[in-house]
Structure 1
Amino acid sequence: MQETSGTRTYLEQILEHWHQDDDAEALVQGELRLTRRQARQRLFSLGHALRRQGLVPGDGVGLFLANRVDSVLVQLAVHLIGCRVVFLPPEPGPGELAALVEQSNARVVVTDPVFAARAADAAGRSAHAPVLLSVGPCEQRCTDLLAVADECPVTRPEGVPAPAADEAVTVLYTGGTLGRPKLAAHSHRLYDVLTDGVETDGRNGPSTGFFPAMDPRKDRVLVSTLLTHASGHLTSLQALVTGCALVVLPEFEAGAALEVLREERISATMFVPPMLYALLDHPQCEPGVLPALRRIVVGGAASSPSRLQQVVEIFGPVISQGYGQSEALGIAAFDAEDFAVQVARRPELWRSCGRAISDTRIEIRGEDGTAVLPAGQVGEVCVRGKTAMLGYYEDPQRTAEAFHGDWLRTGDLGYLDAEGYLYLVDRAKDIIVTGSTSDNVYSRVLEDFLLTLPGVRNAAALGVPDEEYGEAVQIFLATAAGVDVDPDAVGAAVTAELGDLYTPRKTVLLDQLPMTKVGKVDKKALRAAWTHTAVDTP
């Protein structure tokens, strides 16, 4: 991804910073602290090391990586030599992981040592027989990429052509059925959004609105979500294109996160809602504990308005909502300053995820995907813009199903108000259809209310088979230690607030809800484990 005519790529943006003030910190992970000079030289040597594996521009490189500084640099190095990044997150099972490697045409798979056995299994099943590399020594029979890089030049690799307009440069896993993963493919247009509006002095943040104006001399960003997922990928790049130091959190634990936020003087970070809730519930989370913090972006899943208000009570007006998905990494955003002003004027905006980011259009459409619905009416969220994917990689059938013309169908249900603010009510697949008239119960509406009840730390709602109504509402509550939550009282409160349709047929009380690797509530696990083991409520 070299510089093209009249356009600075995101890599050029990063390197412009890394060629200035050589001794300023660029990347941090615990005791590992790389200056800009060290980061630049390590990036270049990794690019040469990857080339020594026979890679040429356009080749796919699977990245099965944990949250480490070297993971950030390896991803940049793949783009540096003109190859395609294929993110391999840790949640797929062996069969689907192998199918992902095969379908993505990865010529090389770079693995973290902790994932090496799974990576070797996946690579071994692929007909393409990709080369397996590890980021450091491991027990599998594979080449240590870092050792190769130590022997390589620290000058920039040359001879890299600019990517074509419709060339897939990054592929993200979005889930799917066994043997047929969904791989959202993005062109360099996605990264143009990161650099649009960033002034040459590097002080202004990207036009996505996820982060505020950033000053590389003092602002520091923490990435705590997975680097191989959209949230971690964008968080890290938004820090680097503005010249800010990026601090990498290897694994999320609320106490450790608080310590890093405080000791590293973090000014901006991003959390998915369960991470945010765990942080808020930590006994050391109190006003004044993080004086440097100016922004917490929350996204990746639906957020509870009551929890967002709790953030403001503890940290002040730092909350910024972001909405996107692997198919469209940026759709809507709510900047913290604007958020604080607008919710004072319109409290209902606590439930909004903001307005369309720059270059993105949002429409709410009916079931056929073509009829545009008026403000206030619930339908499918459809988007168009640079952050939308090219399509599903080498999957024309599902690509055709995902688009109407050049409008992406997100699969999310929501509505726009008269001022263009977007409100999400559910994933289409998470709607619970129940009652004598087969009405819709929106799980997010129910979950948001449950989180306002005393003693409830997290909540999930899903539909279970019901002979009379087709589906019945079942809820799962993670309760605070030492607090007795009465299922009957919860059911009565739901009925009083939301009506009979939302009344839970069953309630399960848990110490904590199961989570996916990306920090979302794992509803598949809940459905499998608890459908038949619940406490009945009237």
Structure 2
Amino acid sequence: MKGSVAYRSIQKRGLHIGLLPEMAAAVNPATPISLDHDLGVLPEAGRRLTVAQYADHVDDLAGRLWAAGVRPDERVVIYKTANADHWMLAAAVSRVGGVVVNLSPALDPATVGVLLERVDQPTLLTDGAKFDHLADLPLADLTRRVIVSDADRPGTVPLAGLAGSPRVAPVVRPIDEAAVITHTSGTTGIPKLVVHTPRTQGIRLVPQWRLLSLMRKKETVAINVPFVHSRMVAAMSLALLREYPVLLMRETGPAEVAEQFLRHRPAFVEALPNSLMEWEELADDPRAPFGSVKVFSSTFDAIHPATMSKLLHASDRRGALFFQIYGQSEVGPAVGRAYFRGSAHKANGRCVGWAMPKGAARIRVVSRDGNPPSETDPGYIDVAWDGIAKTYFGEQDRYDTNRDGEWWRTGDVGYRTRFGCLHLLDREIDMIPGVKSSLEIEDVVLGRLRELTELVVVQGPKGEPVPVICTVDDRPLDLDRWRTAAAEFPRLADPVQIPQAELPRTATLKVQRLALARRFENRLQEQA
């Protein structure tokens, strides 16, 4: 089965991650999968596998889960230490017909407890470290059973003890029923549980399949995104079906990333925007760890032009590009655009792209006040296509408030230019009165002050825009340089500098802006 044939099969029957490793092995069993860490559930497997070996491990784990009592239609919450085995376990759950519920290891026990209760008596699949982390939760009341992947804990089913269990035939879930549930970033509170079906997951591959066609050779794809995220489903599916060698990365520190890139020489890199910002220093590394990269890609947040420019100039590849896709967990990839080495530095960072080719999402911008949406009066950004998630698990009413027929309201505001480019100005909830776009301020000033590693503009206790900054090695900011760089934004309050480690972040490294703003409110109350 060639990759294109498998892809057409997915478009017809939906994407079933429990079948994907087997399908990829049928395309090319020798395709290598490399890791920068050991698998928690299978430490003896090593850090270099073929797709055929990978598929066999998934089949083995599926047999163990069946022996543990997991059955079709059962919801299985996977909450464990960050490791590439998370995706393997998710595929194994899917292979026996279970519904995968991915929870980020960054979630605190209280939030996990709320989500376990919402999912209603699931099986919990965890590891020893995270099981101990949940010691204060009444797991016996919240779950049907607890399976531990790498240890033996009282009252749990140890997965290791089920090694050698009989293999079972795969169970294919209905194309429009829940298959994988992921969660939103939780920037405003308890995350929402986003329900993906085989159909919605398969449709989301359409625009990205075309992007990967830019790579003519079978070169390595480096994936450094959270293993629990819906993006991981698409990234792994596309790479494996197109027979690209895969480097699955957990580590995000620049030193570790440089070593992996120098060893594996990836041509395609998929990573979080904040990780790419952290890796900017590698552009000056004389060993040229980015020298082999033909395509940088990010799909979580808009990324600053200065970061894209620096990364592109660190590539030795002719025609290197940075492809940015704007979307969210509920809608998948919505619009996209490419940036090139010679022009990325002067790009408008608010222009997140154009509608992609036929079969991809459609975009509209709806007035908030009766006036045509514009740069000074942005409208609501809506998305429509068959890739929109089916519902929020346990919160149908909340889902319905965002749905208007075929259109999904993203919660972002912006406008479209006369050339059709979608400009994203802010999240509606983060808008500050009198400020056109906090994100635009951040783009501009970050591009002028290379000593900044992060800049987030939030609303202060009196409604003023407060720039919160972090610097390289937490060095003190030169206020004269700041005033010069920020002169065109006179409404900005004086910058507040905090250590990088103190920025409240989500599992995908997004800054929790509301939590940051609440710090100033709390500080004001303490001073009162």
Determine the C-alpha separation between the residues in 2 that align with 1:427 and 1:488. Answer: 30
**Unaligned stretches of 5+ residues in structure 1:** 198-204, 434-438
Determine the C-alpha separation between the residues in 2 that align with 1:221 and 1:253. Answer: 18
Q: How does 1:15-414 map to 2 (within 5 A)?
A: 15-30=22-37, 31-105=46-120, 107-119=122-134, 121-122=136-137, 124=139, 126-127=141-142, 129-137=143-151, 139=153, 141-148=155-162, 150-153=163-166, 157-158=168-169, 160-165=171-176, 167-174=177-184, 181-193=191-203, 196=206, 206-207=209-210, 209=211, 211-214=212-215, 218-282=218-282, 285=285, 288-315=288-315, 317-334=320-337, 336=338, 339-340=339-340, 348-357=347-356, 358-367=359-368, 373=372, 378-414=378-414
Secondary structure at the counterpart of residue 354 of structure 1: strand
**Unaligned stretches of 5+ residues in structure 2:** 1-8, 38-45
The one-letter amino acid of 1:152's match is S
Secondary structure at the counterpart of residue 91 of structure 1: coil
Determine the C-alpha separation between the residues in 2 that align with 1:372 and 1:385. Answer: 26
2:498 maps to what in 1?
A: 510
Determine the C-alpha separation between the residues in 2 that align with 1:372 and 1:85. Answer: 44
Shift of 1:410: 0.6
For the structure 1 residues 458 and 130, does the alpha-carbon distance in structure 2 shift closer, same or farther, using more than 3 Å as the test? same
CA contact (8 A) 1:66 1:226 kept: no
Determine the C-alpha separation between the residues in 2 that align with 1:123 and 1:206. Answer: 44
Write the deviation string for residues 416-457 of structure 1: whole angstroms up to 9, x where unpaired: 222332221111111112xxxxx2442101111220233222
Q: Larger RCO: Structure 1 or Structure 2 (Cα < 8 Å, ≥ 6 residues apart)?
A: 2
2:488 maps to what in 1?
A: 497
Identity in percent: 21
Q: Which moved more, 1:175-184 or 1:413-422?
A: 175-184
CA contact (8 A) 2:66 2:96 kept: yes
CA contact (8 A) 1:375 1:415 kept: yes
For the structure 1 residues 451 and 286, does the alpha-carbon distance in structure 2 shift closer, same or farther, using more than 3 Å as the test? farther
For the structure 1 residues 410 and 252, does the alpha-carbon distance in structure 2 shift closer, same or farther, using more than 3 Å as the test? same
Determine the C-alpha separation between the residues in 2 that align with 1:25 and 1:310. Answer: 30
2:517 maps to what in 1?
A: 527
Secondary structure at the counterpart of residue 111 of structure 2: helix
Determine the C-alpha separation between the residues in 1 that align with 2:260 and 2:60. Answer: 29
Q: What do you get for the CA RMSD once the two structures are aligned?
A: 3.2
Write the deviation string for residues 469-493 of structure 1: whole angstroms up to 9, x where unpaired: xx01111111234965333552454
For the structure 1 residues 214 and 41, does the alpha-carbon distance in structure 2 shift closer, same or farther, using more than 3 Å as the test? farther
Determine the C-alpha separation between the residues in 2 that align with 1:181 and 1:283. Answer: 35
The one-letter amino acid of 1:133's match is I
For the structure 1 residues 351 and 308, does the alpha-carbon distance in structure 2 shift closer, same or farther, using more than 3 Å as the test? farther
2:458 maps to what in 1?
A: 462
Determine the C-alpha separation between the residues in 1 that align with 2:131 and 2:241. Answer: 31
1:478 aligns with 2:465: no
Write the deviation string for residues 140-165 of structure 1: whole angstroms up to 9, x where unpaired: 642232442x21245xx326244142
Shift of 1:100: 0.6
Write the deviation string for residues 390-416 of structure 1: whole angstroms up to 9, x where unpaired: 121121220121111221111011222
The one-letter amino acid of 2:86's match is S
Determine the C-alpha separation between the residues in 2 that align with 1:367 and 1:393. Answer: 28
Shift of 1:299: 3.2
CA contact (8 A) 2:460 2:521 kept: yes
Secondary structure at the counterpart of residue 39 of structure 1: helix
1:201 maps to what in 2?
A: none
Shift of 1:14: 4.1
TM-score by length of 2: 0.84
For the structure 1 residues 147 and 373, does the alpha-carbon distance in structure 2 shift closer, same or farther, using more than 3 Å as the test? farther
Determine the C-alpha separation between the residues in 2 that align with 1:372 and 1:185. Answer: 35
TM-score by length of 1: 0.83
Q: Across the two proteins, how many residue pairs are aligned to each other?
A: 498
1:436 maps to what in 2?
A: none
For the structure 1 residues 530 and 91, does the alpha-carbon distance in structure 2 shift closer, same or farther, using more than 3 Å as the test? farther
For the structure 1 residues 118 and 508, does the alpha-carbon distance in structure 2 shift closer, same or farther, using more than 3 Å as the test? same
The one-letter amino acid of 1:497's match is E
Determine the C-alpha separation between the residues in 2 that align with 1:258 and 1:341. Answer: 21
Secondary structure at the counterpart of residue 235 of structure 1: helix
Shift of 1:532: 7.0
Determine the C-alpha separation between the residues in 1 that align with 2:205 and 2:59. Answer: 21
